[in-house]
Amino acid sequence: MPPVLDVLLVTLPFFALVLCGYVATRRGMLPQAAIPGLNAYVLYFALPCMLWRFGATTPTIDYLSAGVAGVYLFCASVIVAFTIVITRSERIGWNDAAFGALVAAFPNTGYMGVPLLVALLGNAAAAPAIVTILLDLVCTSSLCIALSQLGGADEHGAANAARNALKGVVVNPLPWAIMLGVATWTSGIALPKPIVQTAGLLADSASPAALFTIGAVLARSQTTSATRTPWTEFVPAAIVKLVVHPLLVLAIGTSAIGAGVPLDRQALVVLVLVAALPSASNVAMLAERFGADNGRIARIILVSTAAAFLTFSAAVALLAPARPAAGA
């Protein structure tokens, strides 16, 4: 078990970058008009290159197994259902409840999880984490968007919403970057050195730019939210994200291994730590597009991100094996 202080020393810079983005936006040093451009740089340039590089240099395809996908998707579905049951009320309809469930089940794996887990566990952690990105983008998001339309007047609303969600996946560069990386790995094709170096420079910028952008997006959501949300409507969802989700993945994954399901224990550790990550910041933009209470969603993301510095670090200290010191 790695010492808690050692874990905090690794995680602190990542969360400090989020804080830098938050403070820069709240103090006006970063104009809010610049945030969409910053987010576009991360989403369309830096992060795809980072995911492609990991996919091209690690055996990601080995983790596209029934064990990894089955355990992760089952737990995500349970979290979605559980969150809707405990949050839906007269004030929170299907639309708001479904996006609250999405933010409780969708970790910030792309912007934060992959670089953080690689720093903590090494490059081997990238492959199963990248698989969860694909599963969340394609399956978890589509499920929650379909559920968000159940309260609408149009009986075909859920199906149309699911189709729109899948269209969103098609135009999202992240799944394509992952699949291109996997194709590069499996084919063994050696790309020209200038292309690899250019992609590498963009990939190196992904982690700091993405973390800074998370803070900026959270700060913007605080300044643009016009309504006050009672803490009872957002804190429970944050607790589900940071506590219930990883514990469920740990319990189901351990039971699956005991039942003979092909799931590597190191992969299970990565899945649990992915589940322990704070909520994905892009869910706020998705909720706004579908007319959900964006202020509530933003508060769930903010609380989970702030609290995750301690809860995620604790999960790492309990689960992750100590890495040998350099030269040992």
Tell me the pLDDT tens digit for each residue of 297-311: 888 999 999 999 999
* Token code pair at residue 67: 């064990």
Which residues, including other chains, have CB under 8 Å from residue 132's CB and lie 6 or more apart?
72, 107, 109, 271, 274
Tell me the mean pLDDT in the region 131-146.
90
Q: Is the pLDDT of residue 225 over 50?
A: yes
Q: φ, ψ for residue 33 (rounded to 5)?
A: -65, -20
With contact defined as beta carbons under 8 Å apart, do 62 and 270 qualify? no
For the chain, first and last CA: distance in Å?
A: 17
Model pLDDT, residue 328: 38
Q: Is the pLDDT of residue 158 over 90?
A: no
Model pLDDT, residue 13: 93
Of 167, 203, 197, the C-alpha closest to 55 is: 203
Per DSSP, the residues of 265-315 read HHHHHHHHHHHTSPBPTHHHHHHHHTT--HHHHHHHHHHHHHHHHHHHHHH
Which helix (H) or strand (E) segment is 186 a member of? helix 173-187
- For the chain, the farthest-separated pair of C-alpha atoms sits apart, in whole angstroms, at 65
* Token code pair at residue 261: 């399901």
Give the lowest-confidence range in 1-10, 111-120, 273-282: 1-10
Q: Is the pLDDT of residue 325 over 50?
A: no
Which residues, including other chains, have CB under 8 Å from residue 171's CB and lie 6 or more apart?
none
Dist. CA 143–CA 98, nearest whole Å: 9
Give the pLDDT band (50/70/90) at residue 20: very high
State whether the Cα torsion 165-98-18-7 is positive or negative.
negative
Supply the mean pLDDT for the chain: 87
Q: φ, ψ for residue 279 (rounded to 5)?
A: -65, 150
Dist. CA 85–CA 101, nearest whole Å: 9
Does residue 93 sit in helix, strand or coil? coil
Q: 283 burial class (0-12, 13-18, 19+ CB within 10 angstroms)?
A: buried
Model pLDDT, residue 47: 92
Q: φ, ψ for residue 50 (rounded to 5)?
A: -65, -45
Q: Which residue's structure tokens are 């995500």?
A: 76
Q: Is the pLDDT of residue 316 over 90?
A: yes
What predicted TM-score, i.e. pTM, was given to this entire model?
0.87
Q: Which CATH architecture has domain 4-319?
A: Up-down Bundle (1.20)
With contact defined as beta carbons under 8 Å apart, do 72 and 271 qualify? yes
With contact defined as beta carbons under 8 Å apart, do 162 and 142 qualify? yes
Which helix (H) or strand (E) segment is 191 a member of? none
With contact defined as beta carbons under 8 Å apart, do 112 and 277 qualify? yes
State whether the Cα torsion 184-185-189-192 is positive or negative.
positive
Tell me the mean pLDDT in the region 240-269.
95
* Token code pair at residue 80: 């979605």
Q: Is the pLDDT of residue 287 over 90?
A: no
How far is CA 70 from its chain centroid?
A: 18
With contact defined as beta carbons under 8 Å apart, do 237 and 88 qualify? no
Of 320, 328, 324, 327, the C-alpha closest to 8 is: 320
